[in-house]
Structure 1
Amino acid sequence: MNEFTDLKRATVSVPQDLDYKFKKVASQKFKFEKGWYSKAMAEAMEIWLKYNNLIQLKNGTNSLGRFVGKLIWDEWKQNFQNIDFQTANESTNQILNQFSTKSTYVENIDYHINNDDLKIYLKSYTIDDKPNMVENLLTEYLQPITIITRAGIEDITGEHYKINEFKVGKSSKIHLKKVD
């Protein structure tokens, strides 16, 4: 089936500089392949819809972390098609397994779920072992683990969680707590 059979042609007006920036990034991603601009516009519309649905579902919450976490979690769920997520435990296992197998900074990841709390503990290699370790640990592991795990738990449970504690170091800790 041709991917262009059910297309709707639309004429829109956007600021010239925005169009230029969009076309620059879109052409780099799609490499001027046939239909590159249409593909980029469709992808942009999908992201806009997800973003605005998230804002409506969360009563006005427009945090970038929540938005990115939801996008990544939705993408990851597709990779776990054979898993029927029923509990926060199952989603947390899958998320943390993704990080623990690829880590150059984290020796061990463990977590505990107790009622309305999720506590994730990360034991790191000594900070002196690698340059820029604290920054890399934070940006490559702690932030992504936090936003993706929160999105997964919220998706599975239908509850809202906040970051209650966030500690970076040789023994890092992420504490997510359900909001009443």
Structure 2
Amino acid sequence: MGKMNRVTISVPHGTDLNFRKKAAIKFAFKRGWYGRAVQEAMQLWINIQSASEDGISEENKEYLWKSFQEHMKIESDDPEEILDCIAEFFTSEVKVAEKIEYEMNDNEVTVKKEGSLGPFVSQLVTKKGDCIIFNCPVKIIMDAALKDLTGKKYAVRSEVHTLFSPKAIKESNI
């Protein structure tokens, strides 16, 4: 298991009590239950802080890519052919956007899309603070596909993120 550190922290009473209740249920008061719960919570925090800039973990990107991969029939490891195939799939089959273009410069890809958002909204929502971001599904799939099929990491970015804040939604009566 490796070297262990003893840590002393101060947290609000209510937070600690709620955490202990949940941890006690999960770990059934077995020896080391509280330490395991804190370790799990710390690892979860690290994973969240380590998520990519779009807020979606590499594991979730890979899962999303794998769920679409069988429908795309990509038989190339050429990055531009991969991106062309994905863009075509998302405009003609899934209809996430009316038009999808990308710009590739070395290992950086910028996705530009025009048109509708598509039916996969629930998988594409990221909450940052009190704002909700709808991520570009094409960007996410392109990112995971390039990594999987070429073995290289690309910096794939979307030209625009649709950002909603609770204040804006309340003011517009959505």
TM-score with structure 1 setting the length: 0.43
Structure with larger Rg: 2
TM-score with structure 2 setting the length: 0.44
